[in-house]
Amino acid sequence: NYINKIWNASRFVIMNLEGFEYSDIDLSGEKTLADKYILTKLAKTIEDFERLFEKYEFGEASRILYNFVWEEFCSWYIEIAKISLNGEDEAAKNTTKSILVYVLDASLKMLHPFMPFVTEEIYGQISEGTIVTAEYPVVRPEFENEEAAAGVEALKDVIRSVRNSRAEVNVAPSKPITILIKTSDSKLDAFFNDNVNYIKRFTNP
């Protein structure tokens, strides 16, 4: 269920923070396409969540928030983050760790009204103090990149299509397959070639 999903995602983040403190968060480093995507999605979520919460539209606010945490952060970004975390580039690792903690921190603060005990428990493992008095997340326009977000959405469409095709013909995810991506958009074609590592990571071609 949802609580287990956020709990397991939080455990993954915390287990990968060896030697990394909350105060070490540094978002000034070079960011990957996935980094730009999740920061853009987070900014949009904070903006929409605040607007709906102020209008007392709690149901819609929680839906948008849950979708971001479940779909964008837990299901996609954490999986993509493993590429950097398992690599040899220490600068990239630190940037990824910073973004993981930054996004988890903001998500917990927004989730707190809906699941106070769970969020307080997790927050205490990544930061000092209590989430009740912590500074509320703010939109950081300098981190928004709509082009990167749109690009990742296109990659997600390809990955979903491959996964659906596997399921339709009963081919196991572990079995390598040949993938042919054809598009009449030259820019999109170049984009897929430039980011083929993401496609390989999730489709096992």
Nearest to 122 by CA among 138, 111, 137: 111
Tokens of 56: 């007392």
- In angstroms, the Cα distances linking 90 to 20, 26, 102 are 12, 13, 18
pTM given for the model: 0.90
pLDDT by residue, tens only, the chain of 205 residues:
778 888 888 999 999 887 788 889 999 989 999 999 999 999 999 999 999 999 999 999 999 999 999 999 998 999 889 888 988 898 999 999 999 999 999 999 999 999 999 999 999 999 888 999 999 999 999 999 999 999 999 999 999 998 898 888 888 888 888 888 888 888 888 988 898 888 888 887 7
Query: How many Cα atoms sit within 13 Å of 164 on the Cβ side?
Result: 6
Distance CA 9, CA 156 (A): 20
What per-residue confidence (pLDDT) applies to 2? 78
